[in-house]
Amino acid sequence: MRASILHVDLDAFYASVEERRNPALHGKAFAVGGGVVLSASYEARRYGVRSGMGARRARELCPQIIIVKGTFEDYRSASDDVFEICRRFTPVIEQMSIDEAFLDVSGSEHLFGPAEQIAHDLKALTLTETRLTVSIGVARSKFLAKIASKVAKPDGIVVVPPDREREFLDPLPVDAIWGIGAATKERLARYGVESVADLAAMPRATLAGWFGPYLGPHLQDLAVARDARQVKTTHRARSVGSQSAFGGDVHDRARWDRILLGVADRVSRRLREKDRSAATITTRVRFSDMQSVTRARTLSAPIATTDGLFAVARGLMLTAVSEASEGRGLSLLGIRTTKLRVAAPQQLEFDLGLGDTLIRPGTAASIQRYDLDRAVDELREKFGSKSVGRASVMLGGDGWVPDEFRELAQARETG
């Protein structure tokens, strides 16, 4: 196979759009956001400023930093402009988020030249027409192309020829592999597995024993450059999720509840927009030292109400805190829903006094909440997302990321 898959990733996208709008920011340390940093310029990153960090911490690291608010329409417009340029080279595009996409150019090379030439031409056109820079990875698989684009940052192109894939992968740290986060990296390090080459050399049976019969072998497949996933122009959503990073070291449980309720509201609304309900709810809790833990629960029947989702997620959050907090505060809360099913009309069940009425979709309370959520959805569609909502969330004063920004950052799902 030829190296004909491109991963196109816009450099410091939100910050770059703000700099384009206001050239006076060029060369300065600045961040996009409010109470929480959403994106930072490369000058600010040199001081350790990162997305998801509280604005106070960002100012401690970089006293001269400038905080600017987001301009949501500018982001959407800039993204559309860049990916319209991509479509001039190939119709086979899988857009992963507002600022990154995979392109399969295997059917376009007879028109525009080899994939590496397409990458250079696409990069030049993007800079000329949008004044934004992209980093591009070129490889024969999505996995390698994405890693290559990360290595290429900022403003570069990295091509991984098929006969040099292991040469490219082997020296990289093991967390370059998709699916290996900080906790898994630490666990592997205890066994002496620190590089991709170390992971590739492990017996498959050993990895299956450590991480399960699917994940263990899958991680090794990636380590040896085995990835058969194709670029898909459409795909059905398999999960719906959202999270809020609020920075600092928060111990206030009432604030945890407000934040988690806001996340549950966003996730349930997206489920209803897709006409889906979810059976498995996973809550992610990140502590003040950036360590994250997750807890999950699978229900007997799927739900899509805000109150039901919040009730399950809150129980998981409190479990995670009681088991793992060790006195630490929180800095992020997130919810991910999986095992999605097409939402179906619910038949009213008999009241047998079983409790958990909000998380059983057939109860009178759950049906009423679903009808209420649908009414709120319609009002927001007509009058805007800030027109109606739960008072504790809207008046909590937590300085969250506006919903418009979150929606832009979500992977674009169709089907």
Q: Are strands 30-33 and 66-68 parallel, antiparallel or unpaired?
A: parallel
Among this protein's residues, is 18 annotated catalytic?
no
For residues 58 and 247, give the distance between their C-alpha atoms in angstroms, rounded to a whole number: 10
CB 360 within 8 A of CB 352: no
Q: In 10 A of CB 350, how many CB atoms?
A: 8
Report yes or no: 184 and 212 within 8 Å, Cβ to Cβ.
no
Of 19, 43, 94, 100, which residue is the catalytic one? Answer: 100
Helices 364-383, 306-324: crossing angle, 10 deg rounding: 100
Mapping DSSP to helix (H, G, I), strand (E, B) and coil, where does residue 182 land? helix
The answer to whether the beta carbons of residues 16 and 133 sit under 8 Å apart is yes
Supply 63's token pair: 């006293």
* Burial group, residue 327, by CB count within 10 angstroms (0-12, 13-18, 19+): exposed
Q: In sequence order, what are the beta bridge partners of 237?
A: none
Q: Which helix (H) or strand (E) holds 200?
A: helix 196-201
Enumerate the active-site residues. 100
